[in-house]
Structure 1
């Protein structure tokens, strides 16, 4: 099979498309003919050797796939060759074939294409667990979403609206804000030109945001501490700015603020029932057309590095997907 592999960590040019052996089928697993692989920021960090998990070399990046079942282990029931499924895989997705645990495979709704399914799980799963499980967002609250045109930020806008919140979107350009507005954002803030704290206070008539969704960190987090309502909740999703904020605890005390973290991937091992319950709700919304992934870039496997570059250089909005050829 053909795959994009990393033999040594470093720049994105370390991703090499080559021929290698198909992965062996394991007990409790299924083998897929991968049709599409969603790209996430974690893939970039893995290639650069900067991620908290470091797979043994060589490895195939790509943790979010969709495709057709081509083989099932003898102990697997409920799945058969030809079934269309989507799955999280950790690594191994940027390949024509992949092996995944049968328990992690979810059926793709008939109306959903492979590229859409591959762009779905991480971004929507992160935002739904963050907003519904960690922040306990309530209808009528104000949700402030940083990086609102990015892979996870855009899904937070959609899900926040579905949950009945008033959504304020922030981004670095008016073009990106237009993408967030198309997904339902009620108010827009360009953090390159606007005073975030002043704009949030103006929009909320001085109260501040009730929930702040932050995949950016750095200055966005610092500004959030001064643009949040009493008993507000800040959800720490990641640090796309490259700066991990240091939290002045006195501000948490004065406003009774909660700062909560969300590492979605850990739920697969620690609380799988939370993850799977969330995915069932999200798949229902997807089948009903209430949520739809926004994909700004498609690339074939042979030029997968360009997909990663589009995400790394902040040229993408929503999701980036690599598609496979037979």
Structure 2
């Protein structure tokens, strides 16, 4: 099969397309014929050697895919060859075939095409887990979404609105804010022109945001945690800024606030039934 390979850490321009042997599946895996693969920020980090895990060289990047199952391991009982599915792979999706643990594979609705499915699982899976299990977001609460024009940010906006929250979004330009507005955001903050903390306080009558969704880290984390409400929850989703922030724990004490980690990939592995229930809710059935 053909695969796009990373042979040394670097940029996406260093990837090479080569013929490689097809994968052999384990008893708990399925073999997926890849029809489409998602492209996400973690793929860039993996290629650069900056992600939480580092696959052995050579490896094919690509953390999610959609396609048709061509074979199943003997311990996989909920799937069969011919099923249309989406899969969380970690890496390996930038290839014609990939082996995937069965617990990381979910059926695709008949109304969803492969391209949409390949870009769905990581962004919506992450944001649904973050807002439902980790933040316990309630209708009527205020949700602040940082990095709101990115994939997980936009998913958080849409899910937050569907759960009944008031959604405030923050981004660095009017163009990015317009994208978030089209996704359903109620209030917009351009943090390149105004203080994020002051504007959140103004929009919430001084109360702050009940839930803060942060895939950015860095300076935005530093500002956002100072705009959190009493009993607020700050979701640590990622560090797209490149800086892992230090946590001023005195602020969590004064606000009775929680800082909560979000690692959807591990959640999907450890709690596959809850993950499947999340996707069932996302699909509306």
Question: What's 1:61 paired with?
Answer: 61
TM-score where L is the length of structure 1: 0.83
Where relative contact order (Cα < 8 A, 6+ residues apart) is larger, the structure is 1
Q: Does 1:125 align with 2:116?
A: no
Native 8 Å contact 2:237 2:262 kept in 1: yes
Q: CA 1:23/1:210 → structure 2, altered by over 3 Å: closer, same or farther?
A: same
1:1-326 correspondence to structure 2 within 5 Å: 1-74=1-74, 76-284=76-284
Note if contact 1:143-1:213 (Cα within 8 Å) is conserved in structure 2.
Answer: yes
Q: What does the per-residue CA deviation read over 1:272-324, in whole Å, with 9 as the maximum and x for residues that have no partner?
A: 33322222222337xxxxxxxxxxxxxxxxxxxxxxxxxxxxxxxxxxxxxxx
Q: CA RMSD in A?
A: 1.6
Counterpart CA distance in 2 for 1:80 and 1:197 is 51
Question: Structure 1 stretches of 5 or more lacking a match?
Answer: 286-326
SS of corresponding position for 2:138: coil
The DSSP-based 3-state class of the residue aligned with 2:221 is: helix
Q: Helix, strand or coil for the counterpart of 1:246?
A: coil
Report the 3-state secondary structure (helix = DSSP H, G, I; strand = E; otherwise coil) of the residue aligned with 1:81: coil
Distance 2:278 2:121 in 1: 10
The runs of at least 4 consecutive aligned structure 1 residues that moved more than 6 Å come to none
Q: State the TM-score, normalized to the length of structure 2.
A: 0.95
Deviation at 1:28, TM superposition (A): 3.1
What's the CA shift for 1:76? 4.1
Q: Quick one: distance in 1 between partners of 2:135 and 2:77?
A: 36
SS, match of residue 139 in structure 2: coil
Comparing 230-239 and 271-280, the one that deviates more: 271-280
Q: Distance in 1 between matches of 2:65 and 2:205?
A: 44
| Partner-residue secondary structure (3-state), 1:206 | coil
